[in-house]
Amino acid sequence: MARKGKIGLDYFSHDTEFDNELEYIIAVHRELGYYVYFRLLERLYKFYGYYYPSDKKSLALLGSKINVNIESLNVIINDCLGEHLFDKCIHKKYEILTSTGIQKRFFEAIKRRNEVEIIKEYILLNNVDIKSYNVNINWLNVDISTQSKVKDSKVKDSKEIIYPWTENEFIEVWEFWKKYQKEQFRFTYKPIGEQGVLSRLKELSDGNLGTAMLIIKQSIQSGWKGLFELKGKFKTQQYDREQIFNDLRQS
């Protein structure tokens, strides 16, 4: 299977002078408003490129990542929508946060890439603007079945887990992690909780399978209940499939 090209950015620029809409957010919410807005942009550009999912679970994970309670996070995001820092129509229709400015900065940053995958329904720019960036776009369409699942309250009862990686080695290590949780902490995931932790693991590892495996190994060998970014000696370790399995069996 061909490896998908990178979508996110390692860097984005922003103006030294803010427009009135952002100044209003900062005036109302002070340092927290500034912090939330730009931390959200950092996560947006890094992981999704030109939008950020704003469903309940994604925002809960964002709040946990940037250490802001969900109530404050929702208030600030709603005010940003009210000030048109994010497009209200596309947010209501697809549960994402984006804007023409965000998309222009994204396309400007990727104009030297050979190819990029873009969800057509999320784009606010017109065809003339997009063609000016001279990047080969593989247009995708919104998966309607996925959208309906997000909005359907029955998703809470779903037992189908979507793994960030489908390789057998990851699934085997993930099952080992769940067994460790049960034996050490008498804890068993509910489906929605397990899916949330898998999403967090993908963020912590920047989508890298080897890093994800090392994160799980780090937590088990350290006796931790949660998953965290690699620290200390684990940051310098190289991913070795056989070594990880041997180390986990001895844990």
Positive or negative, the CA dihedral 83, 87, 93, 97 is negative
Q: Token pair 């704003």 is at which residue?
A: 54
Residue-wise pLDDT for 197-219, tens only, equals 999 999 999 999 899 999 999 99
Model pLDDT, residue 16: 55
What's the whole-model pTM score? 0.55
pLDDT at position 250, please?
Answer: 67
DSSP state of 158: -
Amino acid at 125: L
How far apart, in whole angstroms, are the C-alpha atoms of residue 157 and residue 163?
A: 17
The predicted pLDDT at position 113 comes to: 78
What distance in Å separates the CA atoms of residue 12 and residue 32, rounded to the nearest whole number?
20
Provide the residue-wise pLDDT of the chain in tens; the chain has 251 residues.
334 456 778 766 666 557 889 999 999 999 999 999 999 999 999 989 999 999 988 999 999 999 999 999 999 999 999 999 999 999 999 999 999 999 999 998 888 777 788 898 999 988 877 888 777 788 887 764 445 444 443 334 445 688 888 877 888 889 889 988 998 888 888 888 888 899 999 999 999 989 999 999 999 999 999 999 999 998 888 877 777 777 776 66
CA distance 234 to 215: 8
24-37 b/e (C-beta count within 10 Å ≥ 16 → b): bbeeebeebbebbb
pLDDT, residue 189, reads 86
What is the reported pLDDT for 157?
A: 41
Spatial contact of 197 and 227, defined as CB atoms under 8 Å apart = yes
> Using one digit for the tens of pLDDT, what is the confidence trace for 113-143?
777 888 989 999 888 778 887 777 888 877 6
Count CB-CB contacts under 10 A for residue 236.
Answer: 7
